[in-house]
């Protein structure tokens, strides 16, 4: 089964994707993780991607698409994936359709998460992630803090704040880019009949774990 997570940064895509991955037995493929791995290893594509990311810009397709295509060829993705952060544009969605069609495959479900803008900004500023790339657990020091400050509950590694999560101006820029370039994907997948939109908000008392549970129930019947 192939699932796409849609929604602006800070809406909880990673949380929902992580729960679905564990329940459905398919990997969570995050472009953010792919970028960070390449940046840390200082690959040619990683160095180029970092120039865009640190300025709050989307990484162009000529860098992103080859990275994702390579990831989808790995053994653990043969039974499906949960894509988090890709596609971000209609052009990328069309490229993804091409990739999957070669495997006689398709997108089965697109989960679109929405959250009030002020709440998104607060979530991102207070987000922390596990520095262990094999773990990748995500926390929020206000809503979902670790048991021990600065330490991952799951693996004991240090929790860090992503470089692109530290500036409110950069966050607002990323959100503006999302509105302009990524939100048209909602209509694209709605026309395909695979879109499911869910609000994730503390005000509505409906969080990522709730969405994941509801999606799993609908899939498993």
**For 91, phi and psi rounded to 5 degrees?**
-60, -40
Please, what's the b/e burial string for 42-53 (b: 16 or more CB within 10 A of its CB; e: otherwise)? eeebbebbbeeb
Structure tokens at 193: 């009949």
| Alpha-carbon Rg for the chain in angstroms | 17
Give the pLDDT score at 160: 96
Residue 186, Ramachandran bin (φ over 0: left; ψ between -120 and 50: alpha; else beta): alpha
Question: What is d(CA 179, CA 84) in angstroms, rounded to the nearest whole number?
Answer: 17
pLDDT category of residue 45 using cuts at 50, 70 and 90: confident
Flag whether pLDDT at 58 surpasses 80. no
Q: Looking at 50-59, 79-88, 124-133, which range is the least confident one?
A: 50-59
Q: What is the pLDDT of residues 168-183, one digit of tens each?
A: 998 998 899 888 888 8
Instruction: List the domains of the chain with CATH numbers.
Output: 3-115+168-220 (3.40.50.300)
pLDDT category of residue 38 using cuts at 50, 70 and 90: confident
Please list the active-site residues.
13, 88, 127, 162, 174
């Amino acid at each position: 089964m192939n699932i796409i997570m849609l929604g602006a940064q800070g809406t909880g895509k990673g949380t929902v994707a992580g729960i679905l991955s564990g329940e459905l037995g398919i990997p969570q493929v995050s472009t953010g993780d792919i970028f960070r791995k390449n940046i840390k290893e200082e690959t040619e594509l990683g160095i180029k991607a970092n120039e865009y990311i640190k300025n709050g810009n989307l990484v162009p397709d000529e860098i992103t698409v080859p990275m994702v295509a390579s990831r989808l060829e790995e053994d653990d993705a043969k039974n499906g994936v949960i894509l988090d952060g890709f596609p971000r544009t209609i052009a990328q969605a069309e490229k993804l359709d091409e990739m999957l069609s070669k495997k006689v495959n398709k997108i089965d479900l697109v989960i679109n998460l929405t959250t009030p803008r002020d709440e998104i900004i607060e979530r991102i500023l207070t987000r922390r992630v596990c520095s262990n790339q094999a773990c990748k657990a995500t926390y929020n020091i206000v809503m979902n803090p670790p048991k021990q400050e600065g330490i991952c509950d799951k693996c004991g590694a240090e929790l860090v704040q992503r470089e692109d999560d530290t500036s409110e101006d950069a966050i607002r820029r990323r959100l503006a880019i999302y509105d302009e370039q990524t939100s048209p994907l909602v209509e694209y997948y709605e026309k395909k009949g695979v879109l499911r939109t869910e609000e994730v908000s503390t005000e509505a008392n409906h969080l990522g774990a709730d969405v994941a549970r509801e999606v799993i129930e609908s899939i498993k019947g």
